[in-house]
Amino acid sequence: MQASNILSVARDTISNEAKAVEKLQDYLNDEFAHAVQHIYNSKGRVIITGIGKSAIIATKIVATLNSTGTPAIFMHAADAIHGDLGTILKDDTVICISKSGNTPEIKVLVPLIKNFKNTLIGITGNKDSFLGKQSDYVLNAYIDKEACPNNLAPTTSTTAQLVLGDALAVCLLHLRGFSSKDFAKYHPGGALGKKLYLRISDITSENQKPQVTPNTSINKVIIEISEKMLGVTAVIENEEIVGIITDGDIRRMLTKNEDFSQLKAKDIMGASPKTIDNHAMAVDAMDILEENGISQLIAKDNKGKYAGIVHLHNLIKEGII
């Protein structure tokens, strides 16, 4: 195939799936809303099951629900009839995903779920199927055709299933009033979690705390900046922050003065330095640094006293930037 042909197939695939997803809006009805309300009011978990590609989609929906405050467990439809039915507890809601709704495993599994008297939600492309007729709530995932040219490989159908699962999860998220703080509880790792929970104090507590007085000699200022390895030092007088000296200030001083033996910190410091509360979120420091085109911030405690330094490199290391 020529590159142009490959791109044409790719565009047709995306167009096919996009149109199918768009049509899902037309299939939404009160049954969808009632299914969401049932899950929200349920005391149990959500058990999601399926076979083949639908099982793979089920695992993703489970992950999305768990990360947004709705406890969920995946149960493979084939394994369910060989012992995994024990996964289902009294108050659990079962979601069964199947394009046709008539696969042999589904026909065996669904009556067993009904015998347990658990509420069954079916996600299927065939409302008149075995699954559709047996479900307490049916979520219509009908598609006109698969993106596969033979209309065989699950492509558009699994996309539709996934989108309905996302819609369920987001509706439940809204009902629970699930906030970014709640999200952080379930995502403590990685850059995303750090943006939601990492505070300035978590950084300053690990950094050294360079400081000089206004009357400190330039030689000692250079030594302090070099030893503390943050490219900066705070200037402190009577426990108050009165200035800041960066390695840039040192370089500018050297270009202007051949002899700096008589200079003091107060002679080259920048007054009114940019500061941030030590209990603020680390992501807030990133905004201040970007807005002002600087690399370091002085952190203050709740009494306005010097608490430490936050460097751009700290935010990069933590994945905030």
- Answer yes or no: is 76 a known binding residue: yes
**Cβ atoms of residues 277 and 200 within 8 Å:** yes
If we measure between CA atoms, which residue out of 236, 245, 217, 254 comes closest to residue 307? 236
- CA dist., res. 42 & res. 119, Å (int): 10
CA distances from 48 to 58, 65, 94 (A): 6, 10, 6
Q: Can you read off the two tokens belonging to residue 29? A: 């009805």
- Taking the CA atoms of 307, 313, 318 and 321 in sequence, report the sign of the dihedral they define: positive
- Taking the CA atoms of 139, 143, 149 and 151 in sequence, report the sign of the dihedral they define: positive
Burial class (CB within 10 angstroms; exposed 0-12, middle 13-18, buried 19+) of 214: middle
* Strand order across the beta sheet in which 275-277 lies: 275-277, 296-300, 306-311
Over the range 193-206, which residues count as b (16 or more CB within 10 Å of their CB) and which as e?
bbbbbbbbbebbee
Which residue type does 309 have?
I
Q: What residues form the annotated binding site?
A: 76
Q: What residues form the annotated binding site for Zn(2+)?
A: 76
